[in-house]
Amino acid sequence: MNAEDLRYLELLSESYPTIADASAEAINLNAILNLPKGTELFASDIHGEYEAFAHLLKNGSGSIRMKIDDAFGDELSEAEKRQLATLIYYPHEKLRLIMPTLADLDAWIAQTVERLIAVAKRASGKYSRSKVHKAYPKEFAYAIHELMTEDNCAVDRDDYRRAIIDSVIRIGRGTAFIESLCLLIQRFSLDHLHILGDIYDRGPAPDAIMDTLAKYHCLDIQWGNHDIVWMGAALGQRGCIAHVVRNCARYGNLSILEDAYGINILPLATFAMSAYRDDPCVAFGLKGNPDLDEQAYQMNVKIQKAMAIIQFKVEGRLIDEYPEFGLEDRKLLDKIDYERGTVVVDGVEYELADKVLPTVDPADPYALTPEEEEVMQRLEQVFIGCEKLQRHMRLFLKVGSLYKISNGSLLFHASVPLNDDGSLKEANIFGEVCKGKELYDVLERYVRAAFYSADELERKRGRDLMWWLWLSPASPLFAKSKMATFEIYFVTDKAARKEVKNPFYARLDDPDAMAVIFEDFGMDPAASRIICGHVPVKAKDGEDPVKCGGRVLTIDGGFSRAYQPTTGIAGYTLISNSHAFILAAHEPLESAAAAVEREIDIHSTRRVVERVERRTLVADTDQGICLRARVNDLERLIAAYREGLLPERIK
């Protein structure tokens, strides 16, 4: 054994000081390797739709209802199962409705506890007892442990079991005990959560989603373009701030800024209502039918236009600063003929849909007015100074990345950019030409540098690159020919607005093109898959999210209400358990209140995408690789103890 190996084993011996300690851990890990793998849930493009997303977490994407059916079969009626399921999803809210209707509360609590324990046993069956015990709430750990591990084979244990439940009820903790059991079942229903990007924009409550994820037991996030632009905004990047504020106004969601994050937009509102006071803002109607009164509606419209013009101005300056970004075609304010009311886009002249541009100087169209400059300075300060926003962005950095390889699946938000011939597309990142995996790695290094680097130039480049990631055709998070924001507002001809997808999307059913990607990421094309989102799957038109014979799964099904008319459903989730990969297509959730009061669950259609011949064990996963390496290290440590190379640290 060389000196380096011995030094490592010396460090390991601090955690396992004796043969007995190391042996016990090796035995434990070997046992875990032979358990079924935990259930993983994949979701994408949530876009602020907190209620629908939270409901799917609460019901385990439908798995909890299946556990109830497994536990009780025909023993319970459909109504009883529905009530029990709703109680598990929303224990606090459902208890408040049920309790006033009960003639014998104590008897109901006792019965419900027994039923919840039965479901919890089913939900926790694939985990080690140690892992299950660690999930118990501290206050009720002993009671839950005894009820969960009691098999009730001996008749004389019935009294012991009943005594535990009676004691909980007698001291007035029955409802709290029920709530703890319900949350425990939720915890057991999903072992790991993968979010494939776009938590932000469009929907009303991305902050609530982030708060939920911050408390989640095990997750990873692959950043989407709508996430990365909020990350840039949090660092004061002006192009990102302009988009974030404009988009909130466009969907009537300024409350995200004001109420969720405490960002004061009064100076902006004052400016917009003054600068565009007599402007009908004809091209700036709101999206998604927000429920606003007329005054609030008009404020959102005018803020949207004010921020759109500011966005085009600050982006023009960024384009001039970074010619290597290749975004010159996105500078359009200087392509306007202000006298004739036309604009030239891609060599074609169009009439402007909105000709009222009071803050644009035709002689210097990208110059901010003094009032616009003041607005941007204030917005920079409040975005950078918002503690809650900074906390949420740090969560992205803590559990997130641009891509992840997990159990043979390559996870990313949008694409690996390709050329027309299916080869990897190159991008110039501050003079560094890269593609494929290398491009992803370089981009992530710059994103993290924006937050953590001690070098100001690196931080600035990282900030500005987040804006590039948001809208560049070469960005793996965007992957379209152009971000047609200007054309959407100012050109009515739909041909000018068209955003052509990167060839990656045309080749999703091409095994050779996908093999190029897998090989570039060091994966086996015959045994790997891509899971991504970003582009809504038009299920209502018969589009299939399963591509390339199951090697590619595109799971943006329209969590966002604004996209549901396009997709025809209310989102996909992908479930990977020890038996299969299952794609679930979800119908819209009416509301959380309806789910509680009328016991309405999300109806989901499930489809088995891939079934394994042999049940997948922990040993077959990435975790298994790590555990086997750990077992090997422990066995080497045991050998070193026995051979006298290291002394046991016997107390």
Percent of the chain with pLDDT over 70: 99
Of 359, 447, 363, the residue nearest 403 (C-alpha): 447
User: Under a CB-based contact definition with an 8 Å cutoff, are residues 219 and 194 in contact?
Assistant: yes
User: Do 44 and 57 lie in a common domain?
Assistant: yes
User: Do 606 and 631 lie in a common domain?
Assistant: no
Please state at what angle helix 206-214 crosses helix 50-58, rounded to 10 degrees.
30
Torsion of CA 252, 254, 260, 265, to 10 degrees: -170
User: Do 22 and 99 lie in a common domain?
Assistant: no
Of 190, 193, 187, the residue nearest 219 (C-alpha): 193
Cα 121 from Cα 143, distance rounded (Å): 14
Q: What is the tens place of the pLDDT at every residue in 239-249?
A: 999 999 999 99
CB-CB neighbours of 499 under 10 Å: 14
Structure-token match 């051979």, residue found: 643
- Please report the pLDDT score of residue 155 as a whole number: 55
- Please report the pLDDT score of residue 602 as a whole number: 82
Cα 189 from Cα 123, distance rounded (Å): 6
| 525 occurs within a structural domain | no
Taking CA atoms, 133 is separated from 70, 78, 129, 185, 546, in Å, by 23, 31, 6, 13, 38
Task: Give the type of residue at 508.
Answer: L
User: Do 94 and 65 lie in a common domain?
Assistant: yes
- Please report the pLDDT score of residue 560 as a whole number: 85
Provide the sign of the torsion angle of the four alpha carbons 98, 101, 102, 105, taken in this order: positive
Cα 603 from Cα 619, distance rounded (Å): 34
Q: What is the tens place of the pLDDT at every residue in 607-636?
A: 999 999 899 999 999 999 999 999 999 999
User: Do 562 and 611 lie in a common domain?
Assistant: yes
- Please report the pLDDT score of residue 153 as a whole number: 56
User: Do 63 and 169 lie in a common domain?
Assistant: yes
DSSP string for 50-102: HHHHHHHHHTGGGHHHHHHHHHHTTSS-HHHHHHHHHHHHSHHHHHHHHGGG-
| 519 occurs within a structural domain | no
* pLDDT of 443 above 70: yes
Q: 495 falls in which pLDDT band (50, 70, 90)?
A: very high
User: Under a CB-based contact definition with an 8 Å cutoff, are residues 282 and 298 in contact?
Assistant: no
Q: What is the mean pLDDT of residues 577-606?
A: 89
User: Do 101 and 149 lie in a common domain?
Assistant: yes
| 63 occurs within a structural domain | yes
Q: 161 falls in which pLDDT band (50, 70, 90)?
A: confident
Alpha-helical (H) ranges within 283-415 are 294-321, 370-385, 387-399
User: Do 624 and 582 lie in a common domain?
Assistant: no
Q: What is the tens place of the pLDDT at every residue in 20-33?
A: 999 999 999 999 99
User: Under a CB-based contact definition with an 8 Å cutoff, are residues 470 and 243 in contact?
Assistant: yes
User: Under a CB-based contact definition with an 8 Å cutoff, are residues 35 and 131 in contact?
Assistant: no
Give the lowest-confidence range in 65-79, 150-164, 393-407: 150-164
Q: 158 falls in which pLDDT band (50, 70, 90)?
A: confident
Cα 531 from Cα 439, distance rounded (Å): 18
User: Do 108 and 154 lie in a common domain?
Assistant: yes
| 163 occurs within a structural domain | yes
Q: Which domain holds residue 15?
A: 3-34+620-642
CB-CB neighbours of 117 under 10 Å: 20
Q: What is the mean pLDDT of residues 100-110?
A: 96
Taking CA atoms, 371 is separated from 249, 394, 455, in Å, by 19, 32, 32
β-pairing, 552-554 with 529-532?
Answer: parallel
Q: Is 61 left (phi over 0), alpha (psi -120 to 50) or beta?
A: left
| 637 occurs within a structural domain | yes
Q: Quote the tokens at residue 559.
A: 């969590």
User: Do 583 and 638 lie in a common domain?
Assistant: no
Of 474, 479, 502, 488, the residue nearest 332 (C-alpha): 488
Percent of the chain with pLDDT over 90: 90
Q: How many domains does the chain have?
A: 2
Report the residue count for the chain.
651
| 396 occurs within a structural domain | no
User: Do 573 and 635 lie in a common domain?
Assistant: no
User: Do 558 and 593 lie in a common domain?
Assistant: yes
Q: What is the tens place of the pLDDT at every residue in 44-62?
A: 999 999 999 999 999 999 9
Q: What is the tens place of the pLDDT at every residue in 538-571?
A: 998 999 999 999 999 999 988 888 888 888 888 8
- Please report the pLDDT score of residue 52 as a whole number: 92
Cα 561 from Cα 569, distance rounded (Å): 10
Q: Quote the tokens at residue 186.
A: 């939720």
User: Under a CB-based contact definition with an 8 Å cutoff, are residues 409 and 531 in contact?
Assistant: yes
Residue 104's contacts (CB-CB under 8 Å, 6 or more residues apart) are none
Please state at what angle helix 78-89 crosses helix 91-98, rounded to 10 degrees.
130
Torsion of CA 522, 523, 529, 532, to 10 degrees: -10
| 322 occurs within a structural domain | no
Q: What is the mean pLDDT of residues 587-592?
A: 87
Q: Quote the tokens at residue 195.
A: 């979010």
Of 401, 449, 400, 428, the residue nearest 235 (C-alpha): 449
Q: Give the chain's mean pLDDT.
A: 95
Cα 540 from Cα 184, distance rounded (Å): 37
- Please report the pLDDT score of residue 649 as a whole number: 86
Q: 650 falls in which pLDDT band (50, 70, 90)?
A: confident
Torsion of CA 63, 65, 67, 68, to 10 degrees: 170
Higher pLDDT, 161 or 316: 316
User: Under a CB-based contact definition with an 8 Å cutoff, are residues 567 and 558 in contact?
Assistant: yes
| 561 occurs within a structural domain | yes
Q: What is the mean pLDDT of residues 407-417?
A: 97
